[in-house]
Chains A and B, each alone.
Chain A
């Protein structure tokens, strides 16, 4: 047990950073959510109970339930498409071929890019007038006139989801490829002997074997997507007519534009409570199989 003291000493600096710069501000932020706390009026900071939450939920300019629905849409659509396409990519990469690792570099690199910059890139691609996507689609003859990818409230959400999918495929690709490579070949051989075709092998061998990876990556990724307003902030900043506003972008706007730190923190608390509830339910439903 004497060495444990040394170990504690070794982990102390990391702990100190976490306590001072994460947990302490987190507590303060939690308090702020229940205060009247505006940068315009710092002299008058006082507790107002649940007032911030009431204001958010009853807001006339922004329908709170639409924001919740947008957050759900943004998260679920992005997650499903990222997962399915990442899975497809991983399946295609399972068997080795010449230059595979170089190829991986070219398809996995978006993982390392800045979310905000990706948002800028896609807002240029989706540009209604000079966007290359409209131009290509017209050349092929799929559309007859320019589509307002980011200016039409009916499709703006799908456009930002597409860019998020582009960003997220590599994560699932990397994780699922590693999991796929750990599936023993004997299992496939045995399945083949039993007369299983490709699709049966996928559902009876591959997916059950990599289930733990699927469970943990889906959980982490979904929480990460909720906490990832960078793309939307760069592309539409919630517009047009709030059609792409999610909880995260609402919070950013409360802080950067209105300087209302009380309401901003209240959004933060809502996000955290939702995510923690989600994580608990998710782990219950999957019975903790996702843990290593």
Chain B
């Protein structure tokens, strides 16, 4: 009896220790970047390292938004990400519903295979032809075009995810609605959609996170500083001679906020989306 209790106690202790390690290693890197962002110029490159600044300062953030024009980049990113996430969400809800309800089995199989195949295509495989195509049309440095391309990069995955959510809603519900006098559109809007709201939220969160974080396509399609998205702006901070790490850290902190907020709010949906409808990390 006693030895079992000791064993149980030790087990709990080990568990707490391991969970603490995971917690610290997940949070400390970001915390350090935050500390770096509120240091002044001398503390930043002081040896021995300063673990907490004597007088925390927001000077780096001020420089970020005035001198580096980060507010504009943030707005650009927000515009592109929100537009393409909403469009991708609407189109994938439609497409996913259709894919789930198709009666022609062969057609359904082919469409699904097409969608899965797109998941193996590296994004840099398509970025060169896209760039050449749009530069001939003089449509580079164009944020709506970037948004359109982003819709395409997330739509297959979103559609597959939305299909798996619709798959779990019995067709009988729509049939019942039809008997009650609803047409197809009405039965979808009033009966099916409310049941899939969590799934739709998951699709939106996924699209938002993936698009907000995308770098390489944006570097390709955007050259003018006024049109930079946030990752492109961070990239431009390094290519200039030497990195000023207080400014960079402030930029990183600000750039991570939106997806962290989306993750914080949508965690439940994201986990459901990954585990039940997910085909990609």
Contact = CB atoms under 8 A, between A and B. Distances in A.
Contacts of B230: 114
A113 B152 contact: no
B169 interface: no
A132 B49 CA distance: 8
B45 to A, nearest CB: 6
Interface stretch (A54-62, A70-78, A120-128, A186-194): A120-128
A124 B245 contact: yes
B154 to A, nearest CB: 10
A112 B91 contact: no
A276 interface: yes
Interface string B147-161: 011011101100100
Nearest to A132: B32
Contacts of A217: 281
B253 to A, nearest CB: 9
Interface residues of B, number: 90
Nearest to B149: A21
Interface string B224-249: 00000011001100100000010011
A103 B280 CA distance: 24
23 contacts: A1-B104, A8-B98, A18-B115, A22-B118, A22-B153, A25-B133, A28-B129, A92-B15, A108-B271, A109-B263, A112-B270, A114-B256, A117-B234, A121-B32, A121-B33, A124-B32, A124-B249, A135-B49, A221-B281, A234-B238, A252-B216, A261-B132, A268-B125
Given A14-B95, A129-B47, A248-B122, 12 more contacts: A10-B98, A14-B94, A15-B114, A89-B22, A104-B267, A108-B267, A109-B26, A114-B255, A116-B234, A117-B255, A227-B122, A251-B124
Interface of B: 15, 18-19, 22-23, 25-27, 29-30, 32-33, 36, 44-45, 47-49, 91-92, 94-95, 97-99, 101-104, 107, 111, 114-115, 118-130, 132-133, 148-149, 151-153, 155-156, 159, 184, 209, 212-213, 215-216, 219-220, 230-231, 234-235, 238, 245, 248-249, 252, 255-256, 259-260, 262-264, 267-268, 270-271, 274-275, 278-281
